């Protein structure tokens, strides 16, 4: 399954749905998902509901995304993490960088 | 197994015989008894005679006749009374009684039938009519026996099926202290299911589901659904995973007109969160400790078993709860309860009712309100409601659960080796396959994220730097990262030489399970001592992986020139 995106009706919120496995193979898809979309939106939600696995390149991707989003003044949050994924984020101190929902 | 034939035609052949019957004649007139007996004996029957009702009852008890011819006016006990007693004592079995009356007395005739007689004969009795009546009653008896045999057979099968059904459906713990529920199925087999089970890390999983239709056909889907729910909950799978697997299996098994509307909830009382997957069920309500609706959650998904997993695009919601908050799921039997004028109960009335009932007997309040609304109309659908309270006192300690798990599984020592040639490296990704194999071991499922991360880091490190000789320093900047990925893709597509060998060993030492991953590559290695890595925000894009592996593992050791690495992960 690929990365899915959805923009809210008012055009302000972008939701990016991550597939079950987030690693180096998802890099391109993930980049495409927000490319050229950050300008008009005010916030972005990374929906992790389906994610089972991630590795450090996923963390790298999220950092890159964050850099882009901060530059465009977009408020970002990570939602629906499973407990196991949440632990990995906590271990990498990502809970301090990202708003976790 | 010895069993009566359940083929109704086979039964008829035996019972429809109209000769050789045991026939009881009850008459106070000696002459009548003699004439009838002689006639019946001539036709091949075995007659018994009684002088009055009382004697008739006694002979019935002793001889169990196939048919009784009963006079009405008799001394000691009349025919009405005797008929009543015999019919009562015959119970389930059908003993035809022909009452003897005189045609002129219509009142007596009606009285006979009322007392339980099956037919009547007027005196004097002619042989043709008598034989015709006997034949006709024997046919009725054959039909009666066939029907009652079939009914008994069906009852036995239903009872047996219900036993199996209940064992499968209710294998979870229905007595969790923070879960209240109320169900009223329309039949033994219900189209509604309510399953409750605790996941190994503590939270309670509940599924309230409603199959299309009700009765046996709807209950068929409940069996695979509950098997999946209990097995996956015991292995610690997430709500989303459970929903996806249910969808996949039900889509595969059920005809397209049968599907499962469901609310699946994971209540994590310790963390104060509820994770909800809801598809085609009425709104799920969240109530405060003191009562009153705090939140109403609309159903976000298609019902289970309608479309493929890819199309389902499952959405889950996570809701933060305070201690004492309650989450209520209702089947559409509640909201679609109909009153006489066709008006339905609907979610608005339900919300109003939930707001009104502030006490602890919430579900009873809803039930009373629905009953009152319907005003005596009979129930048209299965009704199920469940109330789950966020109560950390109800959650069992996690440690207990963990030991239970390790006791249940049989820990074995095993290992596997995966050798990857350039062709394999180019065309396939070994990690999903390895993960799939590992997930066969129940005890590893809870550690899947960590195990994946460890193996993915070590493998990617070997592939990128050992085999593809990529320059990691590129990853310092965002532009570099993109360049890195492009180059990596190119290098991987044209790979000609280089090997990676992954070795996984699993051993047990008492309560401890040790999982060792060893990755060797054909590359030159690297100066692992000098490589610094950090996890702070100021850190570069790369270098984070090894640090993560180190913090997850008990030990990470590099061998050789740095082209061999061994990580030891301990599960206690």
Q: Taking CB atoms and an 8 Å cutoff, what residues of chain A touch B548?
A: 55-56, 59, 88, 91-92
Of the three residues B86, B117, B148, the one that is the final residue of a domain is B148
Residue-level pLDDT at B401: 34
Is B318 in Cβ contact with A80 (below 8 Å)? Answer: yes
* B448, pLDDT greater than 80: yes
Tell how far CA B467 is from the center of its chain: 51
Helix axes A83-91, B544-552, angle to 10 degrees: 120
Distance CA A11, CA B167 (A): 51
Pairwise pLDDT comparison (B11 vs B118), residue with the higher score: B118
In a domain, residue B158? The reply is no
Q: Does A6 touch chain B (CB under 8 A)?
A: no
Residue B528's domain spans which residues? Answer: 409-571
pLDDT of the residue at A68: 87
Smallest CA–CA distance, residue A89 to chain B, in Å, is: 10
Determine, yes or no, domain membership for B159.
no
Neighbour tally for B539: CB within 10 Å: 18
Identify whether the C-beta of residue B271 lies closer than 8 Å to the C-beta of residue B304.
no
Compute the distance between CA of residue B351 and CA of residue B529 in angstroms, rounded to an integer: 64
A40–B contact, CB cutoff 8 A: no
- How high is the pLDDT of residue B7? 45
Instruction: Write the residue in A21, A25, A56 that is nearest to B544 by C-beta.
Output: A56
Please report, for the domain that includes residue B343, its CATH number. 3.60.40.10
Whether B338 and B435 share a structural domain: no
Cα diameter, chain A: 36
B452 CA to chain A: closest CA distance, Å?
6
Residues B436 and B370 in one domain: no
Report the alpha-carbon distance of residue B110 to residue B372 in Å, rounded: 44
What is the crossing angle of helices B430-438 and B448-461, to 10°? 150
Structural domains of chain A ordered from first start: 10-51+60-100 (3.30.750.24)
Same domain, yes or no: B300 and B223? yes
How far B155 CA sits from the closest chain A CA (Å)? 46
Q: Which residue has the higher pLDDT, B167 or B111?
A: B111
Whether B381 and B463 share a structural domain: no
Regarding beta strands A53-54 and A21-22, do their DSSP bridges make them parallel or antiparallel, or are they unpaired? Answer: parallel
Kindly determine whether residue B456 and residue A55, on different chains, have CB atoms separated by under 8 Å. yes
Higher pLDDT, A20 or B52: B52
Contact between chains at A53 and B241 (C-beta distance less than 8 A): no
Q: Is A53's CB within 8 Å of B552's CB?
A: no
pLDDT band at B410 (very low <50, low <70, confident <90, very high): very low
Q: Are A51 and A85 in contact (CB under 8 A)?
A: yes
- What's the structural domain count of chain B? 3
Q: Quick one: tokens of B244?
A: 């996806």
Under 8 Å between Cβ of B144 and B94: yes
- Answer whether A82 sits within 8 Å of B541, measured CB to CB: no
| Digit-coded pLDDT (tens) for B199-228 | 877 789 999 998 886 667 777 888 889 989
Q: Using a CB–CB cutoff of 8 Å, tell me whether A42 touches chain B.
A: no
Q: Give chain B positions within 8 Å (CB) of A84.
A: 446-450
Q: How many C-beta atoms surround the C-beta of residue B176 within 10 A?
A: 21
Judged by CB atoms closer than 8 Å, whether chains meet at B453 and A67 is answered as no
Q: Which residue has the higher pLDDT, B561 or B387?
A: B387
3-state secondary structure of A23: coil
Predicted pLDDT at B50: 94
* pLDDT, tens digit (0-9, with 9 covering 90-100), for B188-202: 677 788 899 988 777
How close is the nearest chain B Cα to the Cα of A10, in Å?
A: 20
Chain B residue with minimal CA distance to A83? B238
Which of B398, B424, B447 terminates a domain? The answer is B398
pLDDT score, position B424? 82
Same domain, B235 and B381: yes
In whole angstroms, give the CA distance from residue B30 to residue B35.
9
Distances (CA, A) of B284 to B316, B317, B331, B373, B541: 13, 11, 10, 21, 43
pLDDT for A3-58, tens place per residue?
888 888 888 999 999 988 888 777 778 888 888 888 889 999 999 988 888 888 78
* Backbone dihedral angles phi then psi of residue B229, each to the nearest 5 degrees: -60, -50
Query: Do the interacting molecules here have an ipTM over 0.85?
Result: no
Q: What is the pLDDT of residues B232-284, one digit of tens each?
A: 888 888 888 899 999 999 988 888 778 899 999 999 888 888 999 998 899 99
Give the closest of B314, B315, B318 to A101, CB-based.
Answer: B318
B484-535 pLDDT tens trace:
888 888 888 888 888 898 888 888 777 788 899 999 988 887 665 554 443 3
Query: Alpha-carbon distance B213 to A22, whole Å?
Result: 40
Sign of the torsion angle spanned by Cα atoms B429, A3, B314, B233: positive
Of B313, B537, B548, the CB nearest to A91: B548
Q: Going by C-beta distance under 8 Å and a sequence separation of 6 or more, which residues neighbour residue A62?
A: A46, A78, A94, A98
Is A71 near chain B, with CB under 8 Å?
A: no
Q: DSSP letter at B393?
A: G
Minimum distance, in Å, between the CA of residue A24 and any CA atom of chain B: 9
- Which CATH number is B84's domain given? 3.40.50.2300
Give Cβ neighbours of residue A97 (< 8 Å, ≥ 6 apart): A63, A66, B537
Same-domain status, B31 and B104: yes
**pLDDT over 70 (residue B4):** no
> Is the per-residue pLDDT at B371 higher than 90?
no
Question: Is B156 within a domain?
Answer: no
Q: Which of B450, B478, B488 sits opposite A67 (nearest CB)?
A: B478
Tens digits of per-residue pLDDT, B273-316? 899 999 889 999 999 988 889 999 988 888 898 888 888 877 88
- Asked if residue A75 has pLDDT above 80, the reply is yes
Nearest chain A residue to B277 by CA: give it: A49
Contact residues, chain B to chain A, C-beta under 8 Å: 201, 238, 240-241, 310, 313-316, 318, 429, 431-432, 435, 446-450, 452-453, 456-457, 460, 475, 478, 481-482, 485, 488, 535-537, 541-542, 544-545, 548, 551-552
Rounded Cα distance between B259 and B257, Å, is 7
- Of the residues A16, A31, A38, A84, the best mutation for testing chain B's interface (the one with the most B CB atoms within 10 Å of its CB) is A84
């Amino acid at each position: 399954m690929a990365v899915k995106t959805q923009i809210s009706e008012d055009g302000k919120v972008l939701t990016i749905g991550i597939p079950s496995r987030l690693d180096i193979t998802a890099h391109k898809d993930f980049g495409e998902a927000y490319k050229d979309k950050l300008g008009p939106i005010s916030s972005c939600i990374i929906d992790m509901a389906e994610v089972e696995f991630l590795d450090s390149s996923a963390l790298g991707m999220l950092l890159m995304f964050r850099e882009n989003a901060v530059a465009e003044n977009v408020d970002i949050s990570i939602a629906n993490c499973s407990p196991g994924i949440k632990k990995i984020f906590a271990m990498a101190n990502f809970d301090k960088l990202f708003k976790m929902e | 197994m010895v069993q009566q034939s359940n083929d109704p035609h086979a039964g008829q052949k035996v019972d429809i015989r109209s000769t050789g019957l045991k026939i009881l004649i009850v008459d106070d007139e000696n002459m009548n008894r003699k004439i009838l007996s002689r006639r019946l004996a001539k036709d091949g029957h075995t007659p018994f005679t009684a002088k009055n009702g009382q004697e008739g009852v006694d002979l019935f008890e002793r001889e169990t006749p196939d048919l009784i011819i009963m006079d009405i006016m008799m001394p000691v006990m009349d025919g009405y009374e005797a008929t009543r007693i015999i019919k009562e004592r015959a119970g389930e079995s059908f003993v035809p009684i022909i009452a003897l009356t005189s045609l002129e007395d219509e009142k007596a005739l009606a009285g006979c039938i009322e007392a339980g007689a099956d037919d009547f004969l007027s005196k004097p009795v002619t042989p043709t009519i008598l034989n015709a009546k006997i034949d006709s009653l024997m046919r009725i008896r054959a039909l009666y026996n066939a029907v009652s045999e079939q009914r008994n057979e069906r009852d036995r099968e239903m009872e047996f099926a219900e036993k199996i059904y209940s064992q499968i459906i209710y294998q979870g713990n229905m007595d969790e202290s923070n879960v209240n529920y109320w169900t009223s199925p329309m039949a033994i087999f219900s189209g509604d299911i309510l399953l409750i089970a605790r996941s190994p890390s503590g939270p309670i999983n509940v599924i309230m589901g409603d199959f299309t239709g009700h009765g046996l056909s709807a209950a068929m889907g409940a069996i695979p659904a509950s098997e999946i729910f209990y097995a996956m909950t015991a292995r610690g799978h997430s709500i989303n995973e459970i929903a996806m697997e249910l969808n996949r299996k039900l889509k595969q098994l059920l005809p397209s007109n049968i599907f499962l509307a469901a609310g699946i909830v994971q209540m994590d009382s310790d963390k104060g969160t509820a994770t909800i997957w809801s598809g085609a069920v009425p709104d799920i309500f969240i109530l405060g400790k003191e009562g009153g609706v705090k939140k109403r959650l609309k159903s976000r998904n298609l019902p289970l078993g309608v479309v493929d997993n890819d199309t389902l695009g499952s959405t889950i919601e996570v809701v933060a709860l305070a201690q004492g908050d309650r989450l209520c799921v209702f089947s559409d039997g509640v909201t679609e309860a109909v009153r006489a004028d066709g008006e339905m109960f609907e979610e608005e009335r339900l919300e109003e009712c939930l707001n009104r009932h502030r006490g602890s007997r919430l579900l009873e309040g809803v039930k009373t309100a629905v009953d009152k609304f319907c005003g005596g109309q009979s129930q048209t659908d299965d009704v199920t409601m469940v109330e789950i309270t966020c109560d950390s006192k109800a959650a069992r300690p996690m440690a207990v659960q963990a030991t239970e798990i390790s006791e249940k599984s049989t820990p074995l020592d095993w290992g596997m080796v995966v050798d990857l040639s350039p062709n394999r490296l180019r065309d396939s990704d070994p990690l999903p396959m390895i993960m799939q194999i590992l997930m066969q071991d129940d005890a590893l499922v809870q550690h899947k994220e960590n195990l994946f991360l460890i193996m993915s880091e070590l493998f990617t490190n070997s592939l990128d730097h050992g085999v593809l000789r990529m320059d990691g320093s590129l990853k310092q900047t965002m532009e570099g990262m993109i360049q890195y990925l492009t180059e990596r893709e190119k290098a991987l597509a044209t790979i000609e030489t280089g090997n990676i060998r992954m070795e996984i060993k699993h051993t047990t030492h008492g309560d401890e399970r040790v999982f060792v991953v060893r990755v060797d590559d054909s590359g030159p290695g690297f100066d692992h001592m000098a490589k610094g890595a950090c996890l702070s925000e100021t850190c570069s894009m790369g270098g984070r992986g090894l640090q993560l592996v180190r913090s997850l593992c008990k030990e990470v050791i590099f061998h050789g020139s740095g082209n061999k690495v061994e990580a030891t992960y301990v599960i206690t």
